Structure 1
C-alpha cells in the first residue's frame, strides 16, 4: 500500500514529536527514590507452612505492623502486632520470632556499628497476653531466645548474659569482656566483615548448653580514624583491625552449661593461627559442628564436639590448591547425615555425607554452579537449590532427590529467579527479574513449580519508566584473552553505527563477584541511562576472577590480584576501540572499592587505551587491607611480596597520562582512607595532576543526606568534561 507524501511527512513529524517528548532522567530523581522498586519487606514463613508474615509500614500513622497472609489466597488473615497499639514504644525497626512463635523480639533505637553489627534496645512481646517487656535499659546485641522461650541470651559490652523470662533474674555468663581486648559471643571486626556473621553463640536444641566463641584481640594492631562531626574538637574511633600479615585475634570455642553456670574451653586439636568461621548444632541435642580453617584458608576441618564430655573429632576435611570458600549450606538431616557444598570437582555442587564423614554421594554435577542451597523437605525427600545451569548470568530454582535423580526445574522464565520457601516446603515465593522486568513476586507449588498466583509486581515502575528515554541493557559476550566473558551494553538512544561514541566501562571484578547478570535496573543503571542520554556508551565486562563460571576461572587470580583482571579490562577496551562506532580516544573506566582498585590500575597500566578513570574508595595496596580477605587470595605479604607490590597502583603512579578522579569517605572502617592518601602522595611525587575528594566521616558506602547526590553529580560533571 502506498501513502501520499504528505501523510508520510506527517508520520515522520509525529514520531519526532513523540521522541522529543520523552523525558531525560535526572540525578535528583535517581537519588530521591523516584525509581524505587516495590518489595516484600521482612517476609518469613510461619511454622504452619500455610501463612507468612510481612512487616508493613504506615507512613501516615507513623506505625509499623506485623501482618499475616495466607499463602493460598494472598489475603491478609490478621494483624499479629501493630505498634500503634503499644504504649511503651512508638515503633520498631525489626522483629524476630521465638521458635514456637509465641514471643517476638522487637528492636528499637538501632545504632549501627559496622556493616552487619548494631546495638539496640530490645523488647519482648508476648503474643497471647500482648504484654511488652523491656529486656534492658542498655543497648544490647544479638538477643536470642532459648529453644523453650524460657530464657534470653544476649551480649552487652563484650560479655554474654542470660535473662530468665519468668523470674527476670539476669546471669552474667562471661566476665572478661573488654573493648578492644576480649570479645565473648560476638565476632571481631574482620570476622564480621569477611565471614559475614556477628552472633557467635548458639543454644543447643534443648537449651542446656550454649556454645560460644571468644576472641582475644589484645595483640591485634589498632586502627584509628578521625571523625570531625560538628563539635569544636574531632573525635577518634579506635578499633582492632588486622591488616594482611599482621596478628589476628586468638579465637577459642567454649561450652557453657546453663544449670551448672560454668564454662569450659573446648580443645579442638593441634591448630595454630586458625579461624573458626562457623559453629552449628547438629540434629543431635548434644552434638555441635565446628568449622576450623587454617590461616591460608586452603584447609578446612569439619569437627564434631560431644557436648556431654566436650571431646572433639574431625569428620570431614576439605582442601584446595588456592582457597576453600565458607558457606552457610551445612544442613543436618534427621539421621544426622549432612548436606555439604564443595568446589572439589571444579564447580560448586551439593554432596551428601554420613554422620561419620563418609561420602554417600554427590547429588548435583555438571559444568554449572549451585548458587544457593534452600533446604531439604523430609516428607517429599527433595532438596531445593538455585543454580546457573541455564547460563551463568541466569538463576533458576530446582529440586532433586538426595540420590541425584529426578531433578526438576521449578522456574520457567529466563532471568534471575530466587525462592523463599514455606516452613513445610509446600510453597515458595519466587522473585523474578530480568533486564526488561523489575522484580515480580509469585507464589508457586514446591512440588512442581506450578504458579498459584502473583503476589506483587512493579508494573507501576515500568509504566513510570515509559515516559523516559531509556535504552535497553543488552546482554552479550566478548572473547578476551582466550575466554568468553559476559558483557552488557547500554547504548545512547537512537544509536547510529555511523557515528562515533565515547565509552564508559564499569566493573567490580573482585574474586567470585558478578556485575553482568540478567536483572533489571539498579540505581547505577539509571545513572548510566542519564549518561547514555548525553551520548555515552556504557559497557560492563566480567573478566577472569569473577564468579559462577567454575573454580578455575575464579581462582586464576590467586596470589595475583590486579593482574589478569586488569589485563582483561585493557584487552576488552582495545577490542571496543576497534569498533567503527567507538571513539578510541574517549574510553573511560570507573569502579568502587575493588572496582576502584581496578579502574586505577587500568588507567595506569592501560594508559594507551583509557583516557579517563574514576576510583571510589579504592584499595591501592593490599598491604593495607584485612587478613581474612586479602590472605585468602594473596597469602601474606611476607610470603608473596611481589604479588602485593607489582599489582599495586602505588607502584605505577608515574604511568598516569589521562584524567583521574579519586574519591574516598573519611570514616571508611573497611577500605581505609589511608589507601587514597598514599595514592595521592605517589601521584604528587610523580608530578601527576589529578582530581580528588574526601567525604568527611562517611563510611565505605559514602551516603547520608545529600551525599550520594553530590557524589554522582561530581562524577557526572567529571565525565562530561573529561570524556
Structure 2
C-alpha cells in the first residue's frame, strides 16, 4: 500500500494565533507542573506515557501475529522476500536436477540419483547401478550425458564454447568406461593432446560405435576404445555442412541434430547443407582482451524473400562406408522445401517429413532399404486461406512401412487450432481419426501395436492450460475404442493434487512409463508400471531441492478468459502477491507487470511450476504479474500483428473485473516477438499501459529471417502491406517520452542487433525520450547477463511508475 502526500511550500498553512490568554496563579502552577516552566516546556511525562502506550500496542500486535502462525494471511506483511538471486538459482536448479534427466535405455531408466551419480534403474528387478560417480561429473562439469545401449560406456559432454563461425557452439567429449571406472577424452587426431571442440557426437543406434562431426565433416569410430577413426566425407567447408545444421535450421526451425542412425547402426541418414547462396549478416565480437582488435564475423542469414539453404538428405551404409541414396522431397512442388523430421522404424525403414517454404503443405514419405526408394504416405494441406502448419508430429509403425499415426491440425474459420490423431494406412492413403473427443493432442508418446494402444499427451478443451497423459485402448477398433486419462485426479493413480501438467515417455516394451510432473507443484519424476499404473520408483520426489522448495514460499494465481474482437478467447494468468487474501489485499491497489511470450506459438499460461523474474515480482516485491495470450496463436498469417490490440483489450477488461490493480502502474515487457508486442502496445493511443521494455525486439519483419516472417505474415508478394504496417519504426512518434526501455545484446542471434538499432534511430528522429542498453557479446538468449537484464527492467519500471504517480 502506498500513500503519497505532497505539500508544496505555502500550499496549506494555519494563520498565526494572536489570542491573549489570562491565567490565574492556581492555573499557572498546574501548567508548570505538567508542561514545565516557560524556559523548559518539554512534556516529558506525556512523551513517556505516549511511548508506553505505543509499545503496548506493538507488543500486542506481535503477540497476535505469532499466535496466528506463519501460514496466516497476516504473516504476509512480515514475510521474508524472495530475492532475485534466489529466484534465478531455484529455477536453474529445478531445470537441471528435477526435469528432463530421466531417459529409457530399453526398459531401464538412467537418471541422477540422490548422491549426484548417473545411475541406471531396472524396474523389473528394482536394482539401481551407478554408471558415473559424481566426482567425475564435477571434475568435468558436464552439461549432458548419453549412455550406450549396453550401458558399458557413457558419453560425457562438457566445456561448451562458440566455434570459429561465431554462432554455433561446440563441446568437448569424454567416454566413461563403466566397468573400469575411468574416462578418456575424444580426439580426432591422436597426436594432438588437447581435446578439440566437436560439433556433434552420438552413438550409432544400439551399437557402441560413435558418429562425430568436426569441421563440417562426418567421422565414424567403430570401437570406442580404439584410436581408429574413419572420415566419411571430405567436402565440408565454410559453405558446405555435413551432419550439422546451418543457422536457419537450428535457430528458426528448431532442428539441432541432422544425423539419424538406424537402430542397428548399419545405416545413417544425414543432411548436407549448402549455404553459399545465402546472404550474410555481419556482427562484431568485442572479446575480453583490450589489446586485441574487435573481430567482425558473419552469419549466413536468409532474410524474407531471399535465398534459403539448399539441403540434401543422404543415406550412408556404415558397414561399407559409402553413400547408398539421396532422398528427395515429394509433392512439395515449390522450390526450397524445409526438412522437418526424420524417424527410423526398425532397422530398414525411415519416415521423413518435408514442408513447403510457405509452410502450408507437409509431405510424409517412407524410404526402405536397400535402395531407399521412397513412396508417399500422407500429405497434409491447410484448409483455410493464409493458414500455416506447425512442426509435423508422427509415429511410424514398427511392423509396416505402410502405416503411421499423424497429429493433424484442425482449425475453425477463426484459425483456432486443435489437434487430432489420424491413423494413416497405405496404399490408398486412408486416414481415420482416433477417438479422443474433448482433447487437443500435444504429442504421441507411444504406439503399442501388440496391445492396440496409443499413448499421448494432450489438453482438455475446457482447461487448455493443463496437460495430461492419456491412453487410447482398442485403437484399431474405432467403434469400441475408448480414452483413459492416466494422470487425471479422478483415476486410481495417487498423484499429487497440485499437479496438472505432465510429460511422459514410454519404455521400449511399453511396460513402463516415465511421468514428469511439471507443475504447478515443484517438478518431480516417477516411473510407473503400465499394467496397474502404480509407482515403481520415485526418482527425485523427495530430493533436497524439491523438499526445500515445497516447504518454501507458496504462490497463488487467478485465471481469466475474455472475448476478443473476432469472437475467440484470450487467456490471462495472474500471479498474486504472497499470502494473498481477498479480504486484506482486495481492498488495496498493486502495480502490475505483463509479460508477453517469446514466440507466437508459445502458450505461456500453462499450469507449470514457476520461479524466476515472475515469482520475484509477485512473492518478493508484492507486484501482480500477468501472462496474456491472444490471437497470435491462431495459426493464421497476419494474426501476430493483432497481438497488441488483444493485450490492450484484455487489460481493459481486467481493470473492470478487478479493482486491486493500480491503473497508473501497469507495465509490459517481452523478448523477441514479445518485445515486438510490448513496443506496439506502448505506441498505441488506446493503451492503458504506462511503461514498456522491449528485449531484442523484432522491429522490421522484412529484416527478420525467412522462416519466421513468411510463416507469420506470408510471402512479400502476398503480404507486402502487412510488412509495412507491422514495422515498429512507423509508430515511434506515438511512444510517450520516458516510457520505453530498449535492450539488446551486441551479438543479436537470432534477432539481429540491426533490429533494435533501426528502432532506436526512428525514436531519435521522432525526438522521443527513451532509454537503451546494449550488452557486449551477449546473444539473443542473454544467459550470461540474465540477472543484470532483470535488474535493468525492475529499475526502469520503478522509475517510470514513480513518474506516473507524481
Q: TM-score, normalised by structure 2?
A: 0.79
1:504 and 2:603 matched: no
Larger mean Cα displacement after TM superposition, 446-455 or 192-201 = 446-455
2:207–2:265 CA contact under 8 A, matched in 1 = no
Superposed displacement of residue 458, structure 1: 6.8
2:407–2:443 CA contact under 8 A, matched in 1 = no
**Aligned position for 1:566:** 644
Which residue of 109, 114, 123 corresponds with 2:174?
A: 123
Structure 2, unmatched stretches of 5+, are 1-56, 188-194, 412-416, 490-498, 802-806
CA distance in 2, matches of 1:516, 1:670: 24
Residues 206 and 590 of structure 1: CA distance in aligned 2, closer, same or farther (over 3 Å): closer
Superposed displacement of residue 141, structure 1: 2.8
Q: Which structure has more helix as a fraction of its residues?
A: 2
- Summarize the alignment of residues 212-361 of structure 1 with structure 2, pairs less than 5 Å apart: 212-231=270-289, 232=291, 233-263=293-323, 264-268=325-329, 272-283=335-346, 285-320=347-382, 321=384, 322-336=387-401, 337-344=403-410, 347-356=418-427, 358-359=429-430, 361=432
**Aligned position for 1:545:** 632
CA distance in 2, matches of 1:469, 1:127: 41
1:25–1:530 CA contact under 8 A, matched in 2 = yes
Structure 1, unmatched stretches of 5+, are 59-63, 547-553
Superposed displacement of residue 24, structure 1: 1.9
1:607–1:655 CA contact under 8 A, matched in 2 = no
Residues 458 and 587 of structure 1: CA distance in aligned 2, closer, same or farther (over 3 Å): farther
- Aligned to 1:212, the other structure's residue is in SS state strand
1:575 and 2:653 matched: yes
Residues 210 and 571 of structure 1: CA distance in aligned 2, closer, same or farther (over 3 Å): same
CA distance in 2, matches of 1:650, 1:162: 51
Deviation per residue, 1:185-226 (Å, 9 max, x gap): 111111112332232222334544322211110010111211
**Aligned position for 2:529:** 445
- Summarize the alignment of residues 565-714 of structure 1 with structure 2, pairs less than 5 Å apart: 565-578=643-656, 579-606=658-685, 608-657=687-736, 659-704=739-784, 707-714=785-792
1:489–1:540 CA contact under 8 A, matched in 2 = yes
CA distance in 2, matches of 1:109, 1:567: 45
**Aligned position for 1:456:** 540
1:620–1:649 CA contact under 8 A, matched in 2 = yes
- Aligned to 2:249, the other structure's residue is in SS state helix
Superposed displacement of residue 427, structure 1: 2.5
Which residue of 69, 84, 101 corresponds with 1:42?
A: 101
2:348–2:368 CA contact under 8 A, matched in 1 = yes
2:701–2:726 CA contact under 8 A, matched in 1 = no
CA distance in 2, matches of 1:629, 1:439: 32
Residues 7 and 237 of structure 1: CA distance in aligned 2, closer, same or farther (over 3 Å): closer
**Aligned position for 1:55:** 112
1:22–1:468 CA contact under 8 A, matched in 2 = no
- Aligned to 1:28, the other structure's residue is in SS state helix
**Aligned position for 1:550:** none
Residues 249 and 541 of structure 1: CA distance in aligned 2, closer, same or farther (over 3 Å): same
Superposed displacement of residue 538, structure 1: 2.5
1:412 and 2:484 matched: no
Residues 334 and 678 of structure 1: CA distance in aligned 2, closer, same or farther (over 3 Å): same
**Aligned position for 2:229:** 170
- Aligned to 1:588, the other structure's residue is in SS state strand
**Aligned position for 1:721:** 799
**Aligned position for 1:138:** 196
Residues 169 and 684 of structure 1: CA distance in aligned 2, closer, same or farther (over 3 Å): same
1:386–1:396 CA contact under 8 A, matched in 2 = yes
1:475 and 2:559 matched: yes
Question: Between Structure 1 and Structure 2, whose CA radius of gyration is higher?
Answer: 2
- Aligned to 1:630, the other structure's residue is in SS state helix
- Aligned to 2:569, the other structure's residue is in SS state strand
CA distance in 2, matches of 1:509, 1:120: 27
Larger mean Cα displacement after TM superposition, 14-23 or 379-388 = 14-23
Residues 448 and 620 of structure 1: CA distance in aligned 2, closer, same or farther (over 3 Å): farther
Residues 475 and 464 of structure 1: CA distance in aligned 2, closer, same or farther (over 3 Å): farther
Deviation per residue, 1:640-671 (Å, 9 max, x gap): 12111212211111111251111111112111
- Aligned to 1:689, the other structure's residue is in SS state coil
- Aligned to 2:563, the other structure's residue is in SS state strand
- Aligned to 1:239, the other structure's residue is in SS state strand
Residues 163 and 77 of structure 1: CA distance in aligned 2, closer, same or farther (over 3 Å): closer
Residues 599 and 9 of structure 1: CA distance in aligned 2, closer, same or farther (over 3 Å): closer
Residues 370 and 305 of structure 1: CA distance in aligned 2, closer, same or farther (over 3 Å): same
Deviation per residue, 1:437-458 (Å, 9 max, x gap): 2224344332343445644337
CA distance in 1, matches of 2:366, 2:701: 35
1:529 and 2:618 matched: yes
Superposed displacement of residue 633, structure 1: 1.8
**Aligned position for 2:84:** 27
Residues 244 and 451 of structure 1: CA distance in aligned 2, closer, same or farther (over 3 Å): same
**Aligned position for 2:468:** 396
CA RMSD of superposed structures (Å): 3.4
Larger mean Cα displacement after TM superposition, 381-390 or 143-152 = 143-152
**Aligned position for 2:453:** 382
- Aligned to 1:300, the other structure's residue is in SS state strand
Larger mean Cα displacement after TM superposition, 236-245 or 143-152 = 143-152
Superposed displacement of residue 379, structure 1: 4.1
1:255–1:307 CA contact under 8 A, matched in 2 = no
Q: TM-score, normalised by structure 1?
A: 0.87
2:598–2:672 CA contact under 8 A, matched in 1 = no
- Aligned to 1:562, the other structure's residue is in SS state helix
Superposed displacement of residue 406, structure 1: 2.7
Superposed displacement of residue 177, structure 1: 0.9
CA distance in 2, matches of 1:150, 1:588: 54
CA distance in 1, matches of 2:137, 2:762: 58
- Aligned to 1:605, the other structure's residue is in SS state coil
Superposed displacement of residue 323, structure 1: 1.7
CA distance in 1, matches of 2:249, 2:425: 29
**Aligned position for 1:67:** 119
CA distance in 1, matches of 2:365, 2:426: 11
Aligned residue pairs, count: 694
CA distance in 1, matches of 2:154, 2:545: 34
Superposed displacement of residue 531, structure 1: 6.4
CA distance in 2, matches of 1:8, 1:134: 64
Larger mean Cα displacement after TM superposition, 672-681 or 465-474 = 465-474
- Aligned to 2:482, the other structure's residue is in SS state coil
1:428–1:446 CA contact under 8 A, matched in 2 = yes
CA distance in 1, matches of 2:161, 2:92: 28
Residues 693 and 339 of structure 1: CA distance in aligned 2, closer, same or farther (over 3 Å): same
